[in-house]
Amino acid sequence: MAYQVLARKLRPQNFHSLVGQEHVLRALVHALDEQRLHHAYLFSGTRGVGKTTIARILARCLNCEQGISSTPCGVCSSCVEISEGRFVDLIEVDAASRTKVEDTRELLENVQYAPTRGRFKVYLIDEVHMLSTSSFNALLKTLEEPPPHVKFLLATTDPHKLPVTVLSRCLQFNLKNMPAEQIATYLQKVLGEEQINFDEPSVWQIGRAAKGSMRDALSLTDQAIAFCGGQLNETAVNQMLGSIDQSRVVALVQALQQGDASAILQQVAELAEQGQNFVVALEDLLSMLHQIAVCQVVPNAPVAVQFDHQVMQDLAQAMPAADIQLFYQMGSVAHKDLALAPDIRNGFEMALLRMLAFRPQIDPQQIRQVAMPQIALPQASSSAPEATPEA
Protein backbone atom coordinates (compact mmCIF):
# COMPACT_ATOMS: atom_id res chain seq x y z
CA MET A 1 0.00 0.00 0.00
CA ALA A 2 1.31 3.46 -0.89
CA TYR A 3 2.55 5.60 1.98
CA GLN A 4 0.08 8.26 3.11
CA VAL A 5 1.53 11.48 4.49
CA LEU A 6 0.82 12.25 8.14
CA ALA A 7 -1.26 15.35 7.38
CA ARG A 8 -3.76 13.24 5.41
CA LYS A 9 -3.50 10.09 7.49
CA LEU A 10 -4.25 11.95 10.74
CA ARG A 11 -6.96 14.30 9.44
CA PRO A 12 -9.62 14.37 12.21
CA GLN A 13 -12.94 12.72 11.43
CA ASN A 14 -14.90 14.13 14.39
CA PHE A 15 -14.79 17.08 16.76
CA HIS A 16 -13.31 15.05 19.62
CA SER A 17 -10.14 14.25 17.68
CA LEU A 18 -9.47 17.87 16.74
CA VAL A 19 -6.50 19.60 18.37
CA GLY A 20 -7.16 23.15 19.53
CA GLN A 21 -9.87 25.58 18.33
CA GLU A 22 -11.95 24.93 21.46
CA HIS A 23 -13.84 28.21 21.06
CA VAL A 24 -15.11 27.14 17.63
CA LEU A 25 -15.94 23.58 18.66
CA ARG A 26 -17.91 24.74 21.69
CA ALA A 27 -20.21 26.91 19.58
CA LEU A 28 -20.71 24.27 16.89
CA VAL A 29 -21.35 21.44 19.34
CA HIS A 30 -23.98 23.45 21.21
CA ALA A 31 -25.65 24.52 17.96
CA LEU A 32 -25.82 20.93 16.70
CA ASP A 33 -27.03 19.42 19.97
CA GLU A 34 -29.71 22.08 20.39
CA GLN A 35 -30.72 22.07 16.69
CA ARG A 36 -30.04 25.80 16.34
CA LEU A 37 -28.42 25.69 12.91
CA HIS A 38 -27.48 28.67 10.79
CA HIS A 39 -27.60 28.46 7.00
CA ALA A 40 -24.10 29.93 6.38
CA TYR A 41 -20.83 29.52 8.28
CA LEU A 42 -17.55 31.30 7.60
CA PHE A 43 -14.29 29.80 8.88
CA SER A 44 -11.24 32.06 8.67
CA GLY A 45 -7.63 31.62 9.72
CA THR A 46 -4.14 30.97 8.44
CA ARG A 47 -3.20 27.86 6.49
CA GLY A 48 -3.30 24.50 8.21
CA VAL A 49 -5.34 25.37 11.30
CA GLY A 50 -8.43 23.28 10.46
CA LYS A 51 -10.86 25.37 8.40
CA THR A 52 -11.67 22.76 5.74
CA THR A 53 -11.44 19.91 8.26
CA ILE A 54 -14.02 21.50 10.57
CA ALA A 55 -16.29 22.21 7.59
CA ARG A 56 -16.17 18.56 6.49
CA ILE A 57 -16.87 17.32 10.01
CA LEU A 58 -19.82 19.73 10.20
CA ALA A 59 -21.11 18.29 6.92
CA ARG A 60 -20.95 14.80 8.45
CA CYS A 61 -22.80 16.00 11.55
CA LEU A 62 -25.57 17.43 9.38
CA ASN A 63 -25.97 14.38 7.12
CA CYS A 64 -25.28 11.43 9.42
CA GLU A 65 -28.00 8.80 8.99
CA GLN A 66 -28.29 8.51 12.78
CA GLY A 67 -29.57 12.11 12.94
CA ILE A 68 -28.15 15.60 13.38
CA SER A 69 -25.61 15.41 16.17
CA SER A 70 -22.19 16.72 17.23
CA THR A 71 -21.02 13.09 17.32
CA PRO A 72 -21.64 11.49 13.90
CA CYS A 73 -21.48 7.71 13.87
CA GLY A 74 -18.71 7.52 11.28
CA VAL A 75 -19.89 4.14 9.93
CA CYS A 76 -23.07 4.94 7.99
CA SER A 77 -22.88 5.33 4.23
CA SER A 78 -23.16 9.13 4.42
CA CYS A 79 -20.31 9.48 6.93
CA VAL A 80 -18.09 7.08 4.98
CA GLU A 81 -18.76 8.78 1.65
CA ILE A 82 -18.05 12.23 3.08
CA SER A 83 -14.76 11.06 4.59
CA GLU A 84 -13.81 9.51 1.23
CA GLY A 85 -14.78 12.64 -0.70
CA ARG A 86 -17.53 11.07 -2.82
CA PHE A 87 -20.74 12.21 -1.10
CA VAL A 88 -23.01 13.56 -3.83
CA ASP A 89 -24.65 16.21 -1.62
CA LEU A 90 -21.36 17.74 -0.42
CA ILE A 91 -20.27 20.05 -3.21
CA GLU A 92 -16.71 21.27 -2.62
CA VAL A 93 -15.66 24.27 -4.69
CA ASP A 94 -12.17 25.73 -5.02
CA ALA A 95 -12.94 29.42 -5.45
CA ALA A 96 -9.35 30.11 -6.51
CA SER A 97 -9.92 28.19 -9.75
CA ARG A 98 -13.57 29.16 -10.25
CA THR A 99 -13.59 32.91 -9.85
CA LYS A 100 -15.85 33.84 -12.76
CA VAL A 101 -19.49 34.80 -12.28
CA GLU A 102 -20.50 32.13 -14.82
CA ASP A 103 -19.09 29.45 -12.52
CA THR A 104 -21.05 30.82 -9.56
CA ARG A 105 -24.31 30.99 -11.52
CA GLU A 106 -23.83 27.42 -12.72
CA LEU A 107 -23.27 26.37 -9.12
CA LEU A 108 -26.42 28.10 -7.89
CA GLU A 109 -28.68 26.66 -10.60
CA ASN A 110 -28.93 23.39 -8.67
CA VAL A 111 -29.54 24.99 -5.25
CA GLN A 112 -33.31 24.76 -5.62
CA TYR A 113 -33.28 20.98 -6.06
CA ALA A 114 -33.59 18.74 -3.01
CA PRO A 115 -30.55 16.69 -1.88
CA THR A 116 -30.10 13.31 -3.54
CA ARG A 117 -28.86 11.26 -0.57
CA GLY A 118 -28.40 13.39 2.49
CA ARG A 119 -30.50 15.55 4.76
CA PHE A 120 -28.87 18.75 3.52
CA LYS A 121 -27.12 19.84 0.37
CA VAL A 122 -23.86 21.36 1.63
CA TYR A 123 -21.79 23.81 -0.42
CA LEU A 124 -18.21 24.03 0.86
CA ILE A 125 -16.48 26.97 -0.87
CA ASP A 126 -12.76 27.06 -0.07
CA GLU A 127 -10.68 30.25 -0.46
CA VAL A 128 -13.93 32.14 -0.94
CA HIS A 129 -12.13 35.51 -0.93
CA MET A 130 -10.84 34.69 -4.44
CA LEU A 131 -14.30 35.08 -5.99
CA SER A 132 -14.81 38.09 -8.23
CA THR A 133 -17.08 40.99 -7.28
CA SER A 134 -19.68 39.80 -9.78
CA SER A 135 -19.58 36.32 -8.27
CA PHE A 136 -20.19 37.72 -4.79
CA ASN A 137 -23.12 39.74 -6.09
CA ALA A 138 -24.60 36.64 -7.72
CA LEU A 139 -24.19 34.74 -4.44
CA LEU A 140 -25.71 37.34 -2.11
CA LYS A 141 -29.42 36.64 -2.50
CA THR A 142 -29.05 32.88 -2.22
CA LEU A 143 -26.66 33.26 0.71
CA GLU A 144 -29.20 35.43 2.54
CA GLU A 145 -32.29 33.27 1.93
CA PRO A 146 -31.27 29.77 0.81
CA PRO A 147 -33.76 26.90 0.59
CA PRO A 148 -34.25 25.01 3.88
CA HIS A 149 -32.25 22.03 2.61
CA VAL A 150 -29.09 24.06 1.76
CA LYS A 151 -26.12 24.95 3.99
CA PHE A 152 -23.15 27.09 2.97
CA LEU A 153 -19.72 26.49 4.54
CA LEU A 154 -17.16 29.11 3.52
CA ALA A 155 -13.44 29.00 4.27
CA THR A 156 -10.88 31.75 3.75
CA THR A 157 -7.38 32.78 4.77
CA ASP A 158 -8.16 36.46 4.18
CA PRO A 159 -11.58 37.51 5.49
CA HIS A 160 -10.76 41.21 5.00
CA LYS A 161 -11.19 40.72 1.25
CA LEU A 162 -14.79 39.58 1.65
CA PRO A 163 -17.56 42.14 1.08
CA VAL A 164 -19.32 43.29 4.23
CA THR A 165 -22.58 42.12 2.71
CA VAL A 166 -21.24 38.56 2.68
CA LEU A 167 -19.81 38.75 6.19
CA SER A 168 -23.12 39.98 7.60
CA ARG A 169 -24.93 36.91 6.20
CA CYS A 170 -22.65 34.35 7.88
CA LEU A 171 -21.78 33.10 11.32
CA GLN A 172 -18.08 33.93 11.54
CA PHE A 173 -15.49 31.76 13.29
CA ASN A 174 -11.88 32.91 13.44
CA LEU A 175 -9.54 29.95 13.92
CA LYS A 176 -6.44 30.74 15.97
CA ASN A 177 -2.83 29.77 15.35
CA MET A 178 -1.83 26.89 17.59
CA PRO A 179 0.81 27.44 20.30
CA ALA A 180 4.16 25.73 19.74
CA GLU A 181 3.72 23.84 23.02
CA GLN A 182 0.41 22.35 21.87
CA ILE A 183 1.89 21.35 18.51
CA ALA A 184 4.94 19.76 20.15
CA THR A 185 2.78 17.78 22.57
CA TYR A 186 0.67 16.43 19.71
CA LEU A 187 3.75 15.55 17.64
CA GLN A 188 5.17 13.55 20.54
CA LYS A 189 1.95 11.53 20.61
CA VAL A 190 2.05 11.03 16.83
CA LEU A 191 5.69 9.92 16.80
CA GLY A 192 5.00 7.50 19.63
CA GLU A 193 2.13 5.94 17.69
CA GLU A 194 4.32 5.77 14.56
CA GLN A 195 7.11 4.14 16.64
CA ILE A 196 9.63 6.81 15.66
CA ASN A 197 12.42 7.60 18.13
CA PHE A 198 12.87 11.27 18.94
CA ASP A 199 14.24 13.68 21.53
CA GLU A 200 12.13 16.47 23.00
CA PRO A 201 14.16 19.44 21.67
CA SER A 202 13.79 18.22 18.08
CA VAL A 203 10.00 18.10 18.39
CA TRP A 204 10.01 21.55 19.98
CA GLN A 205 12.00 22.94 17.04
CA ILE A 206 9.41 21.58 14.60
CA GLY A 207 6.61 23.07 16.70
CA ARG A 208 8.25 26.50 16.53
CA ALA A 209 9.01 26.25 12.81
CA ALA A 210 5.34 25.42 12.03
CA LYS A 211 4.32 28.94 13.16
CA GLY A 212 0.91 27.88 14.43
CA SER A 213 -0.04 25.54 11.56
CA MET A 214 -0.66 21.90 12.48
CA ARG A 215 -0.57 20.81 8.84
CA ASP A 216 2.83 22.46 8.39
CA ALA A 217 4.02 20.74 11.57
CA LEU A 218 3.00 17.31 10.27
CA SER A 219 4.60 18.01 6.88
CA LEU A 220 7.83 19.06 8.60
CA THR A 221 7.65 15.90 10.72
CA ASP A 222 7.42 13.78 7.56
CA GLN A 223 10.42 15.64 6.18
CA ALA A 224 12.36 15.23 9.43
CA ILE A 225 11.69 11.47 9.55
CA ALA A 226 13.13 11.14 6.05
CA PHE A 227 16.04 13.51 6.75
CA CYS A 228 17.00 11.88 10.06
CA GLY A 229 16.63 8.30 8.86
CA GLY A 230 13.69 7.49 11.11
CA GLN A 231 15.23 8.83 14.35
CA LEU A 232 14.71 12.50 15.15
CA ASN A 233 17.44 14.37 17.00
CA GLU A 234 17.97 18.06 17.67
CA THR A 235 21.16 18.46 15.63
CA ALA A 236 19.73 16.94 12.47
CA VAL A 237 16.40 18.78 12.78
CA ASN A 238 18.20 22.09 13.28
CA GLN A 239 20.24 21.37 10.18
CA MET A 240 17.08 20.56 8.20
CA LEU A 241 15.27 23.69 9.38
CA GLY A 242 18.30 25.96 9.12
CA SER A 243 18.04 26.75 12.84
CA ILE A 244 21.01 28.01 14.82
CA ASP A 245 22.67 25.99 17.56
CA GLN A 246 21.91 27.41 20.99
CA SER A 247 25.60 27.83 21.81
CA ARG A 248 26.03 30.26 18.90
CA VAL A 249 23.04 32.34 19.98
CA VAL A 250 24.44 32.41 23.52
CA ALA A 251 27.79 33.57 22.12
CA LEU A 252 26.05 36.43 20.29
CA VAL A 253 24.19 37.49 23.43
CA GLN A 254 27.40 37.39 25.48
CA ALA A 255 29.21 39.48 22.86
CA LEU A 256 26.41 42.05 23.02
CA GLN A 257 26.56 42.06 26.80
CA GLN A 258 30.34 42.60 26.75
CA GLY A 259 30.19 45.16 23.94
CA ASP A 260 32.64 43.07 21.90
CA ALA A 261 32.14 44.03 18.25
CA SER A 262 35.00 41.78 17.08
CA ALA A 263 33.35 38.72 18.61
CA ILE A 264 30.04 39.64 16.99
CA LEU A 265 31.60 39.92 13.53
CA GLN A 266 33.41 36.61 14.08
CA GLN A 267 30.15 34.85 14.99
CA VAL A 268 28.40 36.31 11.93
CA ALA A 269 31.26 35.14 9.69
CA GLU A 270 31.02 31.59 11.09
CA LEU A 271 27.24 31.57 10.54
CA ALA A 272 27.81 32.66 6.94
CA GLU A 273 30.36 29.87 6.40
CA GLN A 274 27.79 27.33 7.56
CA GLY A 275 25.19 28.75 5.19
CA GLN A 276 22.78 29.67 7.98
CA ASN A 277 19.64 31.70 7.38
CA PHE A 278 20.18 35.09 9.01
CA VAL A 279 16.43 35.69 9.34
CA VAL A 280 16.20 32.52 11.43
CA ALA A 281 19.31 33.59 13.36
CA LEU A 282 17.67 36.89 14.27
CA GLU A 283 14.45 35.13 15.27
CA ASP A 284 16.41 32.75 17.54
CA LEU A 285 18.24 35.73 19.07
CA LEU A 286 14.94 37.47 19.79
CA SER A 287 13.52 34.29 21.34
CA MET A 288 16.51 34.05 23.67
CA LEU A 289 16.30 37.72 24.65
CA HIS A 290 12.62 37.21 25.47
CA GLN A 291 13.44 34.20 27.63
CA ILE A 292 16.16 36.16 29.47
CA ALA A 293 13.72 39.02 30.13
CA VAL A 294 11.18 36.56 31.55
CA CYS A 295 13.84 35.04 33.83
CA GLN A 296 14.75 38.52 35.09
CA VAL A 297 11.17 39.28 36.09
CA VAL A 298 10.14 35.78 37.24
CA PRO A 299 13.28 33.77 38.14
CA ASN A 300 11.32 30.55 38.67
CA ALA A 301 9.41 30.76 35.40
CA PRO A 302 9.60 27.65 33.19
CA VAL A 303 12.20 27.85 30.43
CA ALA A 304 11.44 26.76 26.88
CA VAL A 305 12.79 23.36 25.94
CA GLN A 306 15.37 24.66 23.45
CA PHE A 307 17.08 26.80 26.12
CA ASP A 308 19.28 25.65 28.98
CA HIS A 309 17.76 26.83 32.26
CA GLN A 310 21.05 27.56 34.01
CA VAL A 311 22.42 29.48 31.02
CA MET A 312 19.30 31.65 30.91
CA GLN A 313 19.54 32.34 34.64
CA ASP A 314 23.23 33.31 34.35
CA LEU A 315 22.54 35.69 31.46
CA ALA A 316 19.56 37.18 33.28
CA GLN A 317 21.77 38.04 36.24
CA ALA A 318 24.65 39.36 34.12
CA MET A 319 22.68 41.67 31.79
CA PRO A 320 20.84 44.87 32.75
CA ALA A 321 17.13 44.74 32.02
CA ALA A 322 17.39 47.99 30.02
CA ASP A 323 19.88 46.36 27.64
CA ILE A 324 17.60 43.36 27.09
CA GLN A 325 14.61 45.58 26.31
CA LEU A 326 16.67 47.75 23.95
CA PHE A 327 18.19 44.77 22.10
CA TYR A 328 14.78 43.14 21.67
CA GLN A 329 13.13 46.30 20.39
CA MET A 330 15.92 47.01 17.90
CA GLY A 331 15.98 43.38 16.79
CA SER A 332 12.22 43.44 16.15
CA VAL A 333 12.61 46.50 13.94
CA ALA A 334 15.58 44.91 12.16
CA HIS A 335 13.50 41.77 11.47
CA LYS A 336 11.16 43.85 9.32
CA ASP A 337 14.04 45.68 7.65
CA LEU A 338 16.09 42.61 6.66
CA ALA A 339 14.00 42.11 3.54
CA LEU A 340 14.98 45.61 2.42
CA ALA A 341 18.72 45.20 2.99
CA PRO A 342 20.83 44.92 -0.19
CA ASP A 343 22.68 42.02 1.44
CA ILE A 344 20.99 40.05 4.22
CA ARG A 345 24.28 39.30 6.00
CA ASN A 346 25.14 42.99 6.06
CA GLY A 347 21.66 43.78 7.34
CA PHE A 348 22.10 41.25 10.17
CA GLU A 349 25.52 42.67 11.06
CA MET A 350 24.20 46.22 11.07
CA ALA A 351 21.35 45.20 13.39
CA LEU A 352 23.86 43.82 15.92
CA LEU A 353 26.22 46.78 15.59
CA ARG A 354 23.26 49.14 16.03
CA MET A 355 22.47 47.40 19.31
CA LEU A 356 26.00 48.16 20.49
CA ALA A 357 25.91 51.75 19.26
CA PHE A 358 22.74 52.59 21.21
CA ARG A 359 23.56 50.52 24.27
CA PRO A 360 23.41 52.62 27.46
CA GLN A 361 26.91 53.38 28.78
CA ILE A 362 25.77 53.77 32.39
CA ASP A 363 24.59 50.80 34.40
CA PRO A 364 20.98 51.51 35.47
CA GLN A 365 21.95 50.39 39.00
CA GLN A 366 24.38 53.31 39.15
CA ILE A 367 21.79 55.89 38.14
CA ARG A 368 20.20 55.83 41.58
CA GLN A 369 23.62 56.49 43.16
CA VAL A 370 24.15 59.77 41.27
CA ALA A 371 23.75 62.63 43.75
CA MET A 372 20.83 64.85 42.97
CA PRO A 373 21.60 68.59 43.08
CA GLN A 374 20.41 70.23 46.25
CA ILE A 375 17.84 72.94 45.59
CA ALA A 376 17.31 75.47 48.36
CA LEU A 377 13.60 75.85 48.97
CA PRO A 378 12.21 79.07 50.52
CA GLN A 379 11.23 78.58 54.14
CA ALA A 380 7.99 80.01 55.38
CA SER A 381 8.28 82.47 58.28
CA SER A 382 6.88 81.16 61.56
CA SER A 383 5.78 84.58 62.79
CA ALA A 384 2.73 86.43 61.58
CA PRO A 385 3.33 89.43 59.28
CA GLU A 386 3.66 92.74 61.06
CA ALA A 387 0.64 94.97 61.02
CA THR A 388 0.83 98.07 58.88
CA PRO A 389 0.77 101.19 61.09
CA GLU A 390 -2.31 103.30 60.74
CA ALA A 391 -1.94 106.74 59.30
Q: Can you give the residue range of the structural domain that contains 211?
A: 180-241
* 145 shares a domain with 215: no
Domain end among 207, 223, 241: 241
Of 93-102, 190-199, 382-391, where does mean pLDDT reach its minimum? 382-391
pLDDT at 367: 38
DSSP 3-state assignment of 123? strand
Length of the chain measured in residues: 391
Contact 320, 365 (CB under 8 A): yes
192 and 257 inside one domain = no
Q: Please, are residues 18 and 12 in contact by the beta-carbon 8 Å criterion?
A: yes
- Crossing angle of helices 278-297 and 309-318, rounded to 10°: 70
Give the residue with greater pLDDT, 382 vs 220.
Answer: 220
**Cβ(120)–Cβ(88) under 8 Å?**
no
Are 16 and 162 in the same domain?
yes
Instruction: For residues 77 and 124, state if they share a domain.
Output: yes
Q: pLDDT at residue 368 above 80?
A: no
Supply the pTM of this predicted model.
0.78
DSSP string covering 321-372, please? HHHHHHHHHHHHHHHHHGGGSSSHHHHHHHHHHHHHHTS-SS-HHHHTTSPP
- DSSP 8-state class, residue 67: -
* pLDDT value at residue 43: 94
Asked if 27 and 162 sit in the same domain, the reply is yes
Residue 192, pLDDT above cutoff 80: yes
DSSP 96: T
My answer on whether 255 and 148 are in the same domain is: no
CATH of the domain at 99: 3.40.50.300
Flag whether pLDDT at 136 surpasses 70: yes
Residue 391: is its pLDDT beyond 50?
no
Where a domain ends, among 217, 241, 265? 241
When mean pLDDT is compared across 95-99, 171-175, 217-221, the lowest value belongs to: 95-99
Q: Average of pLDDT values for 252-262?
A: 91
Please indicate, yes or no, if residue 380 is contained in any of the structural domains: no
Residues 169 and 260 reside in one and the same domain: no
Domain boundary among 241, 256, 280: 241
Distances (CA, A) of 298 to 89, 181, 294, 307, 336: 56, 20, 6, 16, 29
Is the model more confident about 208 or about 382?
208
> Parallel, antiparallel, or unpaired: how do β-strands 40-44 and 150-156 relate?
parallel
What mean pLDDT is predicted for residues 338-351? 91
Write the CATH number for 230: 1.10.8.60
Q: How many CB atoms lie within 10 A of CB 241?
A: 19
**Is 4 within the bounds of a domain?**
no
Q: 372 in a domain, yes or no?
A: no
Q: What is the pLDDT of residues 27-83, one digit of tens each?
A: 999 999 998 999 999 999 999 999 999 999 999 999 999 989 899 988 999 999 998
Residues 311 and 350 in one domain: yes
- Give a yes or no: residue 279 inside a domain: yes
| Same structural domain, 82 and 165 | yes
In a domain, 282, yes or no: yes
User: Do 129 and 26 have their domain in common?
Assistant: yes
Do 232 and 252 belong together in one domain? Answer: no
CA-based nearest residue to 204, from 226, 225, 221: 221
